[in-house]
Structure 1
Amino acid sequence: MRLNQNILLLGKKVVLVPYTSEHVPRYHEWMKSEELQRLTASEPLTLEQEYAMQRSWREDVDNKWRAQPGPPEESCMAGDVNLFLTDRGDPTLGEIEVMIAEPSCRGRGLGTEAVLMMLSYGVTKLGLTTFEAKIGQDNEPSLRMFQKLHFEQVAVSSVFREVTLRLTVSQPQRQWLLEQTSHVQEQPYRGGTSEPL
């Protein structure tokens, strides 16, 4: 996350800010939900484990952002979007995931805008040309959203009960993506500097 630790992305519906220790308590509360655990294939963690995870993400080169509809305050958090650079042998590949955790914020286009913003950031700032999304087979809303964003199914794992979708960004797709995110503004982010003891 060092790459984006001082960057805020301002869209029409969401503000993406780096994941800081101030976000951990809210995120921890979300992840107590059995539905979110199932949809994200996550195991529950203790609050201390969540803080440790946040610290490891902060030190990593990956990008983990909070999606917020409105002012950049923890009370406005709606979910998160992540871009993982997982294949050291292929620096042009990123794995993307999104979660709109607040039920009242679902179905409003926040996830779509957050993913588009991260795809654009990955293409323009990180030189990524291929993106993968691994989604639970039962997570129909996420599958539909990624397919609407031109991702295609490339694999199914019956063991993990997940579908892998891929987007290889051609020149026409790059142009489409940049048009979809032409409104996004990059601004300095100075929040979330304190760490838990």
Structure 2
Amino acid sequence: MKFNELIAISTAKALLVPYDRRHVLTYHAWMEDPAIQEATASERLTLEEEYENQESWRASRDKLTFIICQPLPLLREKTLKDGVALSAGTADAPDNMVGDVNVFLYPYDNDDDDDTETPSSDLVGEIDIMIADSKHRGQGLGRAAVLAFLHYIARNLDGVLREYSSSKEGEEGKKNGAPPATTTRLKRLMAKIHKDNAKSIALFRSLGFEQEGDVNYFGELKLVHRDLEKLVSANNVEGYVELVYERN
């Protein structure tokens, strides 16, 4: 998505920055690891394909992506306020990068839902997180990143949904003379996690996600949460600020 291309999120425990071309070399090195390919159900890509992916993800209206970095130094973090600039390539230098967090938006399928009144414009947001380097796992970075990400989505949900809907509404506008008002809603959050990934399952369960159905053909559990506002209100994010991601 383009919606977050100028925004970084700083908290006391993690820093999130938009996925840029400058990050691709490090990201590609992560994805060369067969264990990460298996854990993320990803195919091995060439470096050129990885650069193309980054451009595609930025242009996509249904995928919102941040790179996870180690948090800003404590003294600096405490002085930050919304709108302060963060210079690209400093706090998100390769040595500070630890993973990524994404949401994929797609139409909600209510075949298994008792709510027969669910509009066809409702969406599911599938959350995906990776902490690439094992030395950064088990330190709470994953949970901190997911919470910061969900707080960002909650604060900016209207804008995220407008970008998702803009293509469809633009086509409708051409037919009808003017685009209709956005009626898209985020119906639920969801995470698909391999049944053997106990730590990731525990992370999402600690946030109130509940298992839905049985293990699928790919060995994954589906965990869902039906109330984003309730989730973020129940989980404070220390030091949360939205910064301007300033490129030279």
Calculate the TM-score normalised by the size of structure 1.
0.89
Q: CA deviation at 1:103?
A: 1.1
Whether the 8 Å CA contact 1:123–1:129 is kept in 2: the answer is no
Cα separation, 2, equivalents of 1:152 and 1:12: 27
Partner of 2:199: 141
* Structure 1 counterpart SS, 2:221: strand
Cα separation, 1, equivalents of 2:122 and 2:154: 12
* Structure 2 counterpart SS, 1:9: strand
* Structure 2 counterpart SS, 1:22: helix
Whether the 8 Å CA contact 1:83–1:118 is kept in 2: the answer is no
Cα separation, 1, equivalents of 2:213 and 2:121: 19
Partner of 2:68: 67
1:125 aligns with 2:156: yes
Partner of 2:99: 79
Q: Larger Rg: 1 or 2? A: 2
1:96 aligns with 2:127: yes
* Structure 2 counterpart SS, 1:3: coil
Q: CA deviation at 1:172?
A: 4.2
Q: CA RMSD in A?
A: 1.9
Q: CA 1:182 to 1:25, structure 2 compared with 1: closer, same or farther past 3 Å? A: same
Higher mean C-alpha displacement, 33-42 vs 126-135: 126-135
Partner of 1:7: 7
Q: CA deviation at 1:181?
A: 2.0
Which ranges in structure 2 are unaligned for 5 or more consecutive residues? 72-90, 109-119, 159-185
Cα separation, 2, equivalents of 1:116 and 1:52: 29
Partner of 2:86: none
Partner of 1:184: 240
1:168 aligns with 2:199: no
Cα separation, 2, equivalents of 1:2 and 1:16: 15
Q: CA deviation at 1:155?
A: 2.8
Q: CA deviation at 1:122?
A: 1.6
Whether the 8 Å CA contact 2:188–2:226 is kept in 1: the answer is yes
Amino acid at match of 1:112: R
* Structure 1 counterpart SS, 2:212: strand
* Structure 2 counterpart SS, 1:107: coil
Identity of aligned residues (%): 37
Q: CA 1:85 to 1:158, structure 2 compared with 1: closer, same or farther past 3 Å? A: closer
Cα separation, 2, equivalents of 1:129 and 1:123: 13
The total of aligned residue pairs comes to: 190
Q: Spell out the pairing of 1:19-34 with structure 2 (5 A cutoff).
A: 19-34=19-34
Which ranges in structure 1 are unaligned for 5 or more consecutive residues? none
Q: CA 1:91 to 1:126, structure 2 compared with 1: closer, same or farther past 3 Å? A: farther
